[in-house]
Structure 1
Amino acid sequence: MEKDYVVARKKPAAVSTGAYASELLQEGHVYTRNDLRDLFSITASSINNGIFKPSAFDSVWLFVTEQKTADRTQYDDLLTGDILHMEGQTQGGTDHLLEEHVERGLELLLFYRKNKFEHPGAGFTYKGKFLYQSRSGSLPTSFTLIQASSPTLTSSFIEAKLQTAGEFNPKNIVDARTKVLASIVRRKGQSKFRSTLLRAYNYRCAVTGCEIEALLEAAHIVPYQGADTNVVSNGLLLRADIHTLFDLGLCWVDPTKLVVKLAEGLEGSEYEALRDQPISLPENVFDRPSADALRWHFNALKSY
C-alpha cells in the first residue's frame, strides 16, 4: 500500500461538505487513479498516496495493494472476506481519519487490488464502505476494518443481541450502532493469553490453519470475566474473521465431535467449506478446549 511519509501535525477539524464520493461510485467496478481524477475533478497530487481525503467530499479513500512491488515499503495489508487488516502511514499522519471517521462524519472507501498489475492501468476494485473496528501498535498503526455491508452487521439475531446487551449507553456515543458493532471485532487478546494460545496451537488457526501471525487472535470460549477465564482450555486461536463469526454465534465448535458448525446465514458463503471440518487441537491434552466451555458457548447461542 502506498502511504505518504509526512510527519503528523495537529490539524484543525475538517469542515463537513455534506457530499459523499460513494454516491458516484459503483461497487465491484475497477477504477484507475486517472479515472477517479476525471470523475471527481481532482488535481491534488496526494491522490497518489495510499490514504487520500478529497477536499470536496466527506470521504477517505484507501488505496490498498496486497502484494507490493519490490520498490515499495512492504506494509502488511490483507482483505479476508469482509475484514480488512491494514497499516496506516509510517508516521501516523492520517490515523485520526480512520479511527475517528464516524465522529468526523467521514466514510471510508476501499479501493483494493491483489497486485499492481491485476487490472489494466494499475486499477483498483472498488469494494465499498468500511467501518473502523480496532487498532494496535504504532509507526505504523495496524487497523482492522469491516465492510459496512457485511451480513454480520445486519443479521437479525445480532440486532437482538445488541438490544439486550445492556453494556452500552447510546447517550454517550456518536453512533450507537457503529460503536456497538465495532466492539464485536476483538483485539488480538491479552498478550500473555494470546502468547500461550499461539504456542499451544503451533501458531496456526484452529479452524482454517492460517499461519499469518498478525491475523491470529485469542478467542475466549466463555467471555472474558477476569483472570480465571484466561486459561488455554477456555480459548481458541482463531483467524480474525473466524473470531468475529465465533463471537457473533455464526460459527461454533461441536463440544462432542470437535468439528466446526455454521449458522444458516453462512450457507453458500466462502465459509461453507469449513462446515463439519475437525478443528486442530493442541498436542497437550490439558490445553485442548474444554467441552463444558464449548457447550456453554453453544447453549448461549440459543438466546440470540
Structure 2
Amino acid sequence: MSTAGTLYLVATPIGNLEDITFRAIRILKEADLIAAEDTRHTGKLLHHFQIETPQISYHEHNAQSRIPQLIEKLQMGQIIALVSDAGMPGISDPGYELVCACAEAGIIVSPIPGPAAVVSAISASALPSDRFTFEGFLPVKGKARTERLTQLAAESRTMVLYESPHRLLKTLADLQAHLGGDRRVTVARELTKRYEEFWRGTVDEAIEHFTTTEPRGEFTVAIAGHTPSPKTLSNDELLAQLKGLIAQGLSPSQASRQLADQTGVPKREIYQLSLSLKPPTEN
C-alpha cells in the first residue's frame, strides 16, 4: 500500500516577484502537480522561475468536483502544491475546503509561508497591530453587508479588509455610516508593487481623497477599532459607587483606582471625592 502524499500550501508574491522564498521555488519544482487558482496567471510565475511542473486548475467554481480528484492523487502518494493568484492559499479563497478534506482523509498539509497582504498592510498601517481581526471581503450588498458592518462598529481590535478599486468609495461610505466619519483608517494600495502607497487619515478624509483621486489597483484597508467614550457620571453617582466599593472592604485609594479604570475619570478626582465621605462608625 502506497504512503499518502503531502499537500503544500505555497505562498506566492502579492506583487513583487522577488518576494518568493527559496523554499517555495524548490517545492514548486519538486511537486508532482501544482493546483492553481488561475493556471495562466501562475504560468507566468512558473515561467519566470523556470519551473516546469504541470498545473491543474482549482478555484471556487470547480472546487467541489476537483477536491475528490486531488484527494485521490494525494492518497496515491503524489505531492501537490496549492497556489492562489497571490499570497497565502486558504486565505479568502477555496483552499480552505481542500485543507479540510485533506485533514479528514488524514493527509499531511504543510504551509510554505510567505507574502500575505493582510500582514503587510497591518504592519505598516500605523494602527494598533498587537490585536487585529481579518475580515477579507465584506458581503457585497443587502442584509448580510449591513449586519457585518453593524458588528464591526463595536469591534475594539484593528480591522483589515480587502477591496477592489470600483467598490472602495462605496465601502468607505458604508464605514462612514456605521463606524463614523472620524474613525481612523489606513488605505494600502498595490502592496509590494511599483506604485505601492499608504494613505492615512479619517474615513471622512479618505472619502474626500478618493473622490478626487480615482482609486486604482487592489486595496487593503485597515480600520481602527472602536474606543468606548468614558461614561460621564455625576459626583453623586461617583460617591455612591465609592461607598459601595469601600463597603466591600476596599480602601479609599483602592476604590478610587478601580472606579477610575471603570469610568475613565482620573483617579485623583475620584480620590478627592472620597475624602468627603465620613469614615464608617464602629458599633
TM-score (norm 1): 0.27
Q: Structure 1 or 2: larger helix share?
A: 2
Q: Between Structure 1 and Structure 2, whose CA radius of gyration is higher?
A: 2
Q: Which has the higher contact order (CA 8 A, sep 6+)?
A: 2
